[in-house]
Every structure is written in C-alpha cells, then in structure tokens.
Amino acid sequence: MRKSGMVLAAVFTTVCCMKMTAQGMLPKVLGDNKVEFAVRAPEAQKVQVDLGGTKYDMTKGDGDTWRVTTNPQVPGFHYYSLIIDGVSVADPASPSFYGCSRWSSAIEIPEEGMDDFEVQAVPHGEVRTVHYFSDVEKKWRPLMVYTPAGYDESRKDYPVVYIQHGGGEDHRGWMEQGRTAQIMDNLIAKGKAVPMIVVSSNSNVRSSSGGFGGGGYSWQGMQTFRSELLESVIPFVEKNYRVKKDRKSRAMCGLSMGGGQSFYIGLRDPEVFANVGVFSTGMFGGIRGASNFDLEKEVPGMLTDTKTFNKQFDVFFVSCGEQDPRIEYNRIIVKTMCDGGVKVKFNSYPGDHEWQVWRKSLHEFAQYLFKE
C-alpha cells in the first residue's frame, strides 16, 4: 500500500474512536455559541478542526483525546472537517452532508425566532426521491420533490417551484441543509404561503457530448442545464405530479450558482416562468471573474423595454447575506434595476454565504408566490 493510503487508513481508524464524554456526545454547542470538539486519536501528531474555513488546533489530553473549544459562532448551519496529520475527513460522530464538493460534517447554531425552520406540530408534507431519464446525459438522474400536506388525498393541481443548489452541492442541499420541508409546512399551516410543490434537481449536468452545465455565469454557460430543466425535469414533473402547467404557476429560484441559473433561465424564459428568486449570486460581483455586469445585455429588454419586462413577472426577488462579499454588488445592481423602473423586491439578512441566509430567502420568497 502506498504511504498516502496508509495515512488515510490510520485516520479512518482513529476517527472512528470518537467517544462519549461526561458532558455528552461531542461536538457540543455551548451557551455562548462556542463549540466544543473532541476526538480520540492516540497515534496522531497534530489534530485540527476546520470550522467554516477557520482552523482550530486541538490539544491532546488524558486518554489520548484531543480537544478544542472554538470562538463563538454566528447562528446557522456550518460545515466542518477534522484534520488529522494533514488529512481532512468528515466526523463520524456527526451527520454528513454533501457540500463543498465532498461529504462534510456540519453543526447547527440555533437562532431565536426561527421556529419556521424546525419541525412543528402542523400537518407535514413529504419529500420524495424519484428518478427521471435525462435526455441530456442519456441516463437516469435523481430529483427530490416536496409535496405539501394533503397532496395524496387531494385531487387539485398545485403550483410548483424549481429550486436550485449552489456550486459544490447537489439536489439534496435544499431538502437537507436548507430545510425546505419544514419551512413550507410551517408557512402553509399558518396561511402565509399557498400549498405548492418544490422540486430540487441536480444541476451538475454533463451532456452526452461532453459539455458541462452546472455553472458558468453567462447565458451560454447555462445552456446544458437549461436543456436539462426545460426538456427533461419539467416534463417529468408535469407528467407524474398534479401541477398547474401555466407560466404563472411556475417559479424558479436558487442560491449562489443556482441564483445565477435562476436569473438567466428564469428571466430569459418568461414563457415558462413568471416568478424568479435570485439568492446570493456572485455574477454581479464579489467573486473572482465577475465584473462589469451589463443588465441589458444579459436580459435584453430589462432596461430598454421595462414595461414589458415587468408585465412578464409576478415576482422578481433578490437577496444576499449582509456579511457576504457579494452584498454591495447585489445592492448596486438592484439599485440600477430600480432606477430603471424594474419591479424587483430585495432583502438582506445577517450572515455570510451560508445556509441560514438561504433558508430566510426561501422563507420570504415563498410568501410572495402564487397569490391571486
């Protein structure tokens, strides 16, 4: 076995020796939002926790157990990894989620007043994982579909939201990290949102001819996934679920990369979508390679035929985290839209480029949708 393989095997062995402590299973969120971690790794020379990009050195104590307590963390969902002798691994003592282009551990820092993100004593919908055949990839691909409470008993048709994940994530992100079902159940039960179906697809699409369609902040860069969505995903949903099939009953939204997809596909296909939500996109600026975004070029008619543009969309919503490097660029572009007469709703929330911001974005966006 090569040395790297031996290191990984050793790491796997030591990490699997996580143990119960007198304070309960770690990691543990403390009262001041600090987080305590511990791992038993008797043969390790150096152990760290990488929490949201900040690395904390752990200290070896009795029983070969390494410990550290982090700085206070802001509320929300935070990915983390253990780093044992330079090898980064998920923590088997915590649930793993697909994010950052790998399986990662995560910890939730609770936030007061966010009960709508939790399971409550209300009627519950269902999240189903189904498979459709992709005409782009020429193979079966997964979808996760939220159906509201009462869907199976009802005979009525429902409006539908197509919701997109960010870079390094997939179709599971919104349903697992994003808590879509909890948000929708609670909003619908309170009468704040109409009952709707939410469809989460995997936009990391590679066409059979070799083109990749996940990202690329350009109209051309969106074409592979656009084909997947319009020619495979939506037809599958409309064949297999009771959904309304008119444009006013369809919405598209997404975070980061998915926000860019929603901007381009949603706004340039008004015959398909009448409702668009763009959360924390970097295409306006704040990330490497983004600069001089030309609204009229990217969405022809937005500024030169604004009256027509506004008539095409019932809801156009943009959001961003207040500590996100993208925030000022989003504010500037929204001001440009507003100055040009575009009807756009905008909101920002405390937080960086992370899930608590995106949960709040969905929570707000859903309340605007499909209202008579």
Tell me what the mean pLDDT of segment 87-109 comes to: 90
Q: Could you report the per-residue pLDDT of 190-235, keeping only the tens digit for each?
A: 999 999 999 999 999 987 655 555 456 788 889 999 999 999 999 9
pTM of this prediction exceeds 0.85: yes
Cα(first)–Cα(last) distance of the chain, in Å?
65
The gap from C-alpha 330 to its chain's centroid, in whole angstroms, comes to 18
Please give the domain boundaries of the chain with CATH numbers for all domains: 3-109 (2.60.40.10), 115-368 (3.40.50.1820)
Asked whether 171 and 115 are in contact (CB, 8 A), the reply is no
CB atoms within 10 A of CB 25: 12
Mean pLDDT of 119-133: 98
Mean pLDDT of 108-117: 95
Q: What is the distance of C-alpha 293 from the center of its chain?
A: 24
Check residue 292 and give its pLDDT: 82
pLDDT of 6 above 60? no
Residues in the chain: 372
CA gap 346, 263 in Å, rounded: 14
